Chains A and B, each alone.
Chain A
Amino acid sequence: MRLTVLVQHEQALDTGAWVWTALPQGFPGSAGGRTIPELHDEVEALKHFFTGEDQETDIAVDYIYELPGVAPEILIDYRHERSERDRVASELTRANDQLSAKARAAASALRAAGLSIRDCAALMGLSKSRFEQISS
């Protein structure tokens, strides 16, 4: 399940410290911290209490930050771009793995056909040393 938490920055009445307050949306309770990591830790510790779910239930937390003077879109856009980057990076890794397998198969076939290493490398658009790496 997903839990959305609104985060505000405000001054504590008792200590006077500027602290972060987390307010679960649609569920009772609140959490806090003097730093964002401290707030994240407390929300993680309390999220099952907030929702009334068993400890075994997987709960993903979405944070919405209310930062005076900072448009919410700035963080939202940044997070969107970062997740897009992560998605593309993951695709690139997968494509590289696939290409490596194809390259090894091609190198093996070319060598089996009796071509020299230099010719194999030229056919595959690789340097001689790179071809040797692949075919070793």
Chain B
Amino acid sequence: MLTAYQEVRDRIYEMARRYSLRPDWAESTRNVRLLLLYDASQMVVARATVPVRDITMAKLERLRDDLAPIFGKEWME
């Protein structure tokens, strides 16, 4: 599973392109960035937090599970 922030971010961009979704970063805190995914009609289809610092397995698994309905279960592999 991807564990580095840059890898995860790039995978999100890649998957978003594949599913014709637009990623948008709502804001950032010290530890996470807030991600919104929009479909072609500009509806938010998913929201998630992407850890940038002090990355833990629990946070990564939560991110994987939050976006699995959109990107599929294996999207972070």
Contacts and interface: CB of A to CB of B under 8 A. Distances in A.
Contacts of B56: 8, 10-13, 19, 21, 32
A72 interface: no
B53 A14 contact: yes
Contacts of A63: none
B54 A19 contact: yes
Interface residues of B, number: 25
Contact of A29 (B3, B4, B54, B62): B62
Contacts, number: 77
Interface stretch (A42-50, A89-97, A101-109, A113-121): A42-50
Nearest to B27: A49
A30 B51 contact: yes
Contacts of B54: 12, 14-15, 17, 19, 32, 34
B59 interface: yes
Interface string A22-35: 01000011111110
A31 B32 contact: yes
Contacts of A52: 47
B48 interface: yes
17 contacts: A10-B56, A10-B58, A13-B3, A13-B55, A13-B56, A14-B5, A14-B55, A15-B54, A19-B54, A30-B32, A30-B51, A30-B63, A32-B32, A32-B56, A42-B32, A46-B29, A46-B32
